[in-house]
Chains A and B, each alone.
Chain A
Amino acid sequence: MFKYFPHTKADIDSMLETLNVTSIDELFKDIPQSVIFNSDYDVPSFMSESELRNHFAELGKKNQELTLFSGLGIYDHYQPAVIDAITSRQEFMTSYTPYQPEISQGTLQYIFEYQSMIQTLTGMEVSNASMYDGSTATAEACFMACAVTKRNKILISSTLNPNTANVIKTYLKYKDLVWDFIDEKSGVIDLEDLKTKLDKDVAGVVVQKTNLYGIIEGYDGFSELIKENKSLFIINADISTLGVLKSPKEDGADIACGDCQSLGMPPAFGGPTLGYLASEKTHVRKMPGRICGYTHDLEGKRAFVLTLQAREQHIRRSKANSNICSNQSLMALFVTVYLTLMGKNGLKEVNNLSYQGAHYLYDQLLKTKKFRDPFNQPFLKEFTLETMIPKETIQTAFLENGILGGISLDIYGEKYQGLINFSVTEKRTKAEIDKLLEIVEGLS
């Protein structure tokens, strides 16, 4: 017997007898003998629960928990204990997509609340129920722009995180769509270059705020220009920063998208996180993924349901706008609980605390004369400096002291040589920041 299989020998015998067969193997008689697998999987023998715990404890020892001064899409923000308490409830965690609304109001209601929160943060009219991550959400936003405009080219800002840009490129390439990059100037997207590249094939323009370098880009004049060209303006924004920064709507976006990891999710080695996608209602029928709507039941009770499903793959099949099915529903609950706890004041405070820590670190790093700022642009919690000392020296010293920080952007290509990225959240204490500075002081 095994703990997940309730079949006793008596149960099996009785079931087989009902079926008028003598062994379970007889049920597989349709399968050609030539494909029957008669040996063992190359998997170790089973483990008891305590053996598994020991095994994971050993595996865990092979990881090093570091003090994170790194960002680039995955941030070390505080996660209130309440989030785990709620998201681990089996009613939320083990249920399926809410296709039976009568017994899925829990899921449907938090999705509605999640959509409401994304709506208010982005300022857009409608959010879907979630996408896989920020990069795939942005790629789907590009598809959406192509579907809305019936055009085939996407302009991508050079200041996008290369991970996001790479995913967009893969998606576009295989759908036989094309793209071009808009140059950067002083660490921000170059409006003049955008002007020269906007043509009648351009379906959408994708920018990122805060950008790869952590810089807060301003989009004065962008929206007018892009609208005039009948293209869509897609802003990928770190959702947490929208507690204080201009919303995509205020920046003139047609589609807002990005990652929600910064709203209550652990770094988790990069996943699961959640991608958000929001737009104006005029484009909702081209929007991918699930959307929850408000309604009532036949007795007039408040109810929530999945709606406009005729857009989706399970109805439209090859005519669907996207193939997305399962997305990141439970992570939307992380976001909803996080934003419920933080409220508008908490979210502002998180941004202010992160801003303060990041600016303190920035000023102090410049004082060491071992770094310079090649951009001199505004930033929030993340910034990029040029180093005067070899990156290996910095990273080795940090790692020896249990710090992950100063990520060298040259992991994304030669053009970023010498650029080092730092990120500071509200979790970083003065002692931790001062320790990092002390290490830098000691380097030569």
Chain B
Amino acid sequence: MINYNRMIFELSNPGRIGYSLPKQRFTDYNVEALDKKYLRNAELLLPEVSELDCLRHFTNISNKNFGVENGFYPLGSCTMKYNPKINEEMAANKAFRSLHPLQPASTVQGALEVYYQLQEYLSTISGLHEFSLNPYAGAHGELVGLMIIKAYHEERKDFKRKKIIIPDSAHGTNPASTVVCGMDVVEIKSNSLGRVDLESLKAVLNDEVSGMMLTNPNTLGIFENDICEITKLIHEAGGLMYYDGANLNALLGKVRPGDMGFDVMHINLHKTFSTPHGGGGPGSGPVGVTEELAKYLPNPRVKKIDDYYFIENSGEALGQISSYFGNYLVALRAYAYIRTLGKENLKLVGPYATLNANYISNALKTAYDLPIPGYCMHEVVFNGLTNKDTDVRTLDIAKRLLDFGMHAPTIYFPLLFPQSIMIEPTETESKETIDDFINVMHKIAIEAKEDPDKLKQAPTKTPIRRTDEVFAAKMMIFSYKDYLEYIQNRG
């Protein structure tokens, strides 16, 4: 059914229904009795289909998607590891999913225990003192972390500290979060080895520096081995260090951000702690801080006295950044993951992820241009093919991979190289899967030389071929209503 091409609205047949609701019980009342000025006149363009129509439609479109269980998913910086089924079963438990967030603490002790214990586990794993699980996603965590940094300086009446130093290799969310938090970005260049250039860093340090955001390992998959010097310099300048936890997976079992001198961090539970990416969320971006900064963590907080868990709203907190407790059920899945692995297996995550990435790096470095020599951590970045005498680009390589039943790596990021290919295998991939990927990548490198058109045409075995993005941006068809108007105008 890969050729299925209907929109749900096109299945609609007036009068058909897909719901079963209770009988009317209080017929003395009717919503139509409301004053007409409150009632909608506008027609609703919603489908009318049976339950089976609905299931078939979504099953058919799901078959045009590629999930982690379809095949290898080496998207760099995204940590597409296996999302365990048992976590889903735990999150489906009615005893948790039916809870209202305004229930008294005495009636949600189990839910609060999960929340509180996860905070504690994240603390010991990261080496930071205290966490809040309220931020909804990584970028949300960044924003909250930066708010904490800003609140810290402002409480000290140090209002001129508005500059956040960010390396040019950073994720786009770092500078965007900084600006949303009302601070200014100071970008510094990486050195020839892809790391923070200490001289460039020193050159921008002054009493206006609020802090520095750093991913370590950085987006090239390389450990910032001057990290102690970097944190020392920032601290001496009066700034705070922010750890972007996007690449935390590499460090599990090896290094804790707190021990490197970071003051504030976020963790992407949907990367390191195996919760599903959901096609772009819901994620979860808990924020952790040092003891000194803990008072700024956002409300509401979950605390514990003896064996009783309770909810606290503090006047010293930076405020509220979510309606309730963030993406609670996502946090619950991460809790299940940590309990399943236990301390014995958690510490193997980073080493296995790193072994897999280095194995790929080593196997592909003849055919693909490895700009930074040496060992990588959990991911490796190539700059296109070694053979630069072809007009085959990274995009073509990525698209060709789809024909082999593999997801493409992250491409054109980091921005340091024109043809970046960023590969992150994660620890849940076997040697056989990785060997298959390596073979395919070599095959593609040969095709690039012998039959480049094949790559330019790729993909050909996917549900659709390359798309016309200019048309989408120009026509701005964002809804079925727009679509109907477009069809009508087209005649």
Which among B24, B35, B97 is the interface contact of A353 at CB below 8 angstroms? B24
Which among A12, A107, A353, A411 is the interface contact of B355 at CB below 8 angstroms? A12
Given A4-B341, A15-B359, A325-B137: A95 and B101 within 8 A (CB)? no
Which among A30, A175, A324 is the interface contact of B223 at CB below 8 angstroms? A30
Interface string of B331-369 (1 = CB under 8 A from A): 000001011111111111001101110110011000000
Which among A46, A101, A106 is the interface contact of B63 at CB below 8 angstroms? A106
Complex CA–CA separation, A150 to B365 (angstroms): 50
A270 touches B223 (CB 8 A): no
| CB of B439 closer than 8 Å to a CB of A | no
Given A27-B354, A352-B30: A294 and B483 within 8 A (CB)? yes
Which among A68, A269, A357 is the interface contact of B111 at CB below 8 angstroms? A269
Which among B92, B114, B402 is the interface contact of A84 at CB below 8 angstroms? B92
Interface string of A106-122 (1 = CB under 8 A from B): 11011011011101110
Complex CA–CA separation, A352 to B467 (angstroms): 44
Given A46-B344, A346-B21, A356-B25: A91 and B66 within 8 A (CB)? yes
B65 touches A92 (CB 8 A): yes
Q: Give every chain B residue within 8 A of A324 (Cβ-Cβ).
A: 137, 139-140
Which among A58, A74, A281, A352 is the interface contact of B100 at CB below 8 angstroms? A74
Complex: chain A residue closest to B137, CB-CB: A326
The B-contacting residues of A in range 260-315, CB under 8 angstroms, are: 266-274, 281, 284, 290-299, 301-303, 305, 307-308, 312-315
Q: Give every chain A residue within 8 A of B399 (Cβ-Cβ).
A: 102
Q: Give every chain B residue within 8 A of A407 (Cβ-Cβ).
A: 102
Complex CA–CA separation, A238 to B165 (angstroms): 40
Interface string of B238-277 (1 = CB under 8 A from A): 0000000000000001111001100000000010001011
Nearest Cβ in chain A — how far from B254, in angstroms? 6
B278 touches A329 (CB 8 A): yes
Q: Give every chain B residue within 8 A of A308 (Cβ-Cβ).
A: 473, 476
B320 touches A170 (CB 8 A): yes
A269 touches B101 (CB 8 A): yes
Complex CA–CA separation, A167 to B202 (angstroms): 37
A294 touches B472 (CB 8 A): yes
Complex: chain B residue closest to A56, CB-CB: B90
Given A43-B343, A100-B402, A136-B140: A322 and B93 within 8 A (CB)? no
Given A37-B259, A96-B78, A356-B25: A66 and B476 within 8 A (CB)? no
| CB of A29 closer than 8 Å to a CB of B | yes
Interface string of B410-452 (1 = CB under 8 A from A): 0001000000000000011111000000000000000000000
Given A52-B90, A346-B17: A313 and B325 within 8 A (CB)? no
The B-contacting residues of A in range 151-175, CB under 8 angstroms, are: 161, 163-164, 166-167, 169-171, 173-175
| CB of A229 closer than 8 Å to a CB of B | no
Stretch at the interface among A195-203, A245-253, A366-374, A435-443: A245-253
A32 touches B228 (CB 8 A): yes
Complex: chain B residue closest to A349, CB-CB: B21
B282 touches A271 (CB 8 A): yes
| CB of A394 closer than 8 Å to a CB of B | no
B96 touches A60 (CB 8 A): yes
| CB of B138 closer than 8 Å to a CB of A | yes
Which among B59, B93, B318, B476 is the interface contact of A60 at CB below 8 angstroms? B93
B139 touches A66 (CB 8 A): no
Given A103-B402, A120-B45: A30 and B279 within 8 A (CB)? no
B342 touches A46 (CB 8 A): yes
Interface string of B4-16 (1 = CB under 8 A from A): 0101110010001
Complex CA–CA separation, A319 to B225 (angstroms): 31
Q: Give every chain B residue within 8 A of A218 (Cβ-Cβ).
A: 37-38
Complex CA–CA separation, A82 to B54 (angstroms): 8
The A-contacting residues of B in range 14-73, CB under 8 angstroms, are: 16-19, 21-22, 24-32, 34-35, 37-49, 51, 54-55, 57-59, 61-70, 73
A323 touches B408 (CB 8 A): no
Beyond A299-B464, A331-B282, 14 additional contacts (C-beta under 8 Å) are A30-B374, A35-B227, A44-B343, A62-B113, A65-B98, A91-B62, A102-B402, A126-B478, A133-B323, A170-B147, A294-B472, A314-B413, A345-B17, A357-B26
- Show 15 A/B contacts (Cβ-Cβ < 8 Å), sorted by A: A16-B355, A35-B227, A37-B127, A41-B343, A59-B113, A63-B96, A95-B67, A100-B402, A104-B279, A247-B42, A268-B328, A294-B477, A298-B465, A323-B179, A340-B47
Ranked 7 nearest A-B pairs via Cβ: A270-B324, A46-B342, A60-B95, A330-B278, A270-B101, A106-B65, A62-B110
